[in-house]
């Protein structure tokens, strides 16, 4: 358990410092002024609590000719209340190496819970919530009477705030310049921003974060394509998905000599460090059976001169993926007499995953064995494509003409995916399934349908 030492400070004008702090960051302090020993004398029910402000008392020499106040000659008592069960650490430093002052923490029955000597070792004790007394004892060798202040010491909070401000400034540098080598990004939320309560993914491509301090940084939901993480510290960085935030994705990054979450071992859910993976997605928009036309409409410069429906599908998939930060080498899961996934795809030996991180298949052989692990229903934008109604099969149709083993299903393919003529048909799969019907629904749709059908895209 981490213990914070700079929480509650007891300052004495003779330059010794007594520090008491706890895990819950309870602090004495507000702007209302100081409680004094007279407040405790005038109100026997009064006690100091971390939020109540500065406490001032006067500690007398044991032989002083002075009326005793909150305790007795040579010892002052400060009633205190701790709100929560927590560890508390007490230290006493004194410039006078010969000082022998000491303090004790006592319960209300007079039992001593701990003792701290001036210039002695710090003492940590678990203290239950409740009322206690701090007894401060004069050593008899210092001034006859001197004031003692208990006041908030927010140096740790200020340090944390400075770290937070530094991290935020460096994050802005990273976002604006795509580079922040050696930067302090401790605790920064790097992978996403929230807009209107929605998670918006941040994409980093070829960014330079070599030597960066990313301890406890939130990398979730972010896409890190070919990022330089050499010599970076990612200890305790957040990468694993929870119920609200998807996992971090890393592709082609350099993690040489980087300190990862557990030594050099990544946590489950961070893709691309423990293992590589390839994306599979369904297009974010529907199209009719003329895939060539859809590619030309969306990426005229890249796809406008292509004659083949298969080439056009590949161009469309690659363009959508590149715009979404998913790389640029993709092929469409389409079949014609010219080719099919079994003949055109790089038959991956590593997993295919959806854009939300869920696995589709362990490799190409697993992809084409008759079933997949999860339906391919997430788009290149990492958004789920919802089934509108179970009574309308058209709303989950996907243009394929591909059998479960990856070969072309001969017959209807909208004339090689180049026509929307209603006299032509195209064979389809169904997006919401994991059996062989994900690609081969044993059905066709009219090639003029525009409202429901999409295509699958696979990274090569």
Question: pLDDT tens track of the chain, all 460 residues?
Answer: 222 222 333 433 332 334 333 333 333 333 344 566 767 777 777 777 654 556 666 777 788 766 656 777 788 888 888 777 676 777 776 666 777 888 888 999 989 988 988 878 877 777 888 888 888 888 888 766 666 655 544 444 444 445 456 777 888 889 889 999 988 898 899 999 887 778 888 889 899 998 888 888 899 888 888 888 887 878 778 887 777 888 888 776 777 667 664 333 333 333 444 446 788 999 999 999 999 999 999 999 999 889 999 999 999 999 999 888 777 899 999 999 999 999 999 999 988 988 876 789 989 999 999 999 999 999 998 888 887 654 444 457 899 999 999 999 988 999 999 999 999 999 999 998 999 999 999 888 899 987 678 999 999 9
- Quote the CA–CA distance of 48 and 370 in Å, as a whole number: 71
Which domains, from first to last, does the chain contain? Answer: 8-153 (2.60.120), 157-251 (no CATH), 278-459 (3.10.100.10)
The answer for 178, left when phi > 0, alpha when psi is -120 to 50, beta otherwise, is: left
Token digits of residue 148: 């003692």
Summarize pLDDT for 334-385 with one digit per residue, the tens: 999 999 999 999 999 988 988 876 789 989 999 999 999 999 999 998 888 8
User: What pTM did the predictor assign?
Assistant: 0.49
Query: What does the chain come to in residues?
Result: 460
Alpha carbons within 13 A on the beta-carbon side of 248: 26
Q: How far is CA 228 from CA 187, 205, 235, 256, 430, in A?
A: 19, 10, 16, 9, 40
Summarize pLDDT for 405-447 with one digit per residue, the tens: 999 998 899 999 999 999 999 999 999 899 999 999 988 889 9
What 3 state SS string does 415-435 have? Answer: HHHCCCCCCCEEEEEECCCCC
């Amino acid at each position: 358990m981490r213990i914070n030492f700079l929480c509650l400070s007891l300052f004495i004008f003779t330059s010794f410092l007594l520090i008491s702090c706890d895990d819950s960051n309870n602090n004495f302090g507000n702007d209302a002024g100081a409680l004094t020993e007279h407040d405790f004398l005038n109100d026997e029910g009064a006690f100091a609590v971390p939020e109540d402000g500065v406490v001032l008392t006067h500690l007398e020499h044991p032989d002083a000719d002075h009326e005793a106040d909150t305790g007795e000659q040579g010892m002052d008592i400060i009633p205190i209340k701790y709100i929560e069960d927590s560890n508390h650490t007490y230290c006493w430093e004194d410039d006078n190496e010969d000082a022998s002052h000491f303090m004790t923490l006592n319960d209300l029955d007079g039992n001593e819970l701990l003792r701290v000597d001036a210039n002695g070792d710090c003492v940590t004790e678990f203290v239950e919530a409740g009322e206690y007394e701090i007894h401060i004892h004069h050593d008899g060798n210092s001034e006859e009477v001197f004031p003692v202040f208990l006041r908030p010491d927010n140096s740790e909070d200020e340090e944390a705030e400075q770290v937070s401000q530094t991290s935020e400034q460096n994050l802005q540098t990273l976002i604006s310049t795509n580079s922040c080598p050696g930067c302090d990004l401790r605790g920064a939320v790097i992978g996403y921003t929230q807009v209107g309560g929605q998670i918006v993914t941040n994409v980093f491509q070829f960014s330079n974060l070599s030597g960066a301090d990313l301890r406890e940084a939130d990398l979730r939901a972010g896409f890190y394509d070919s990022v330089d993480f050499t010599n970076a510290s990612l200890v305790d960085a957040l990468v694993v998905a929870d119920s609200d935030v998807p996992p971090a994705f890393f592709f082609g990054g350099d993690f040489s000599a980087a300190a990862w979450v557990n030594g050099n071992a990544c946590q489950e859910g961070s893709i691309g460090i423990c293992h590589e993976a390839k994306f599979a997605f369904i297009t974010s928009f529907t199209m009719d059976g003329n895939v060539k036309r859809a590619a030309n409409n969306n990426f005229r410069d890249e796809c406008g001169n292509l004659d083949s429906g298969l080439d056009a599908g590949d161009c469309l998939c690659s363009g959508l993926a590149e715009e979404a930060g998913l790389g640029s080498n993709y092929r469409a899961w389409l079949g014609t007499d010219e080719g099919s996934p079994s003949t055109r795809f790089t038959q991956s030996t590593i997993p295919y995953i959806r854009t939300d991180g869920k696995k589709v298949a362990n490799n190409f052989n697993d992809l084409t064995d008759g079933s997949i692990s999860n339906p391919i229903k997430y788009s290149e934008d990492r958004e789920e494509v919802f089934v509108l109604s179970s009574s309308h099969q058209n709303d989950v149709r996907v243009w394929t003409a591909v059998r479960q083993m990856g070969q072309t299903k001969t017959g209807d393919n909208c004339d090689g995916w180049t026509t929307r003529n209603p006299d032509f048909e195209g064979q389809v799969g169904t997006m919401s399934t994991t059996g062989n019907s994900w690609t081969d629904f044993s059905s066709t749709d009219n090639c003029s349908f525009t409202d429901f059908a999409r295509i699958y895209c696979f990274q090569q």
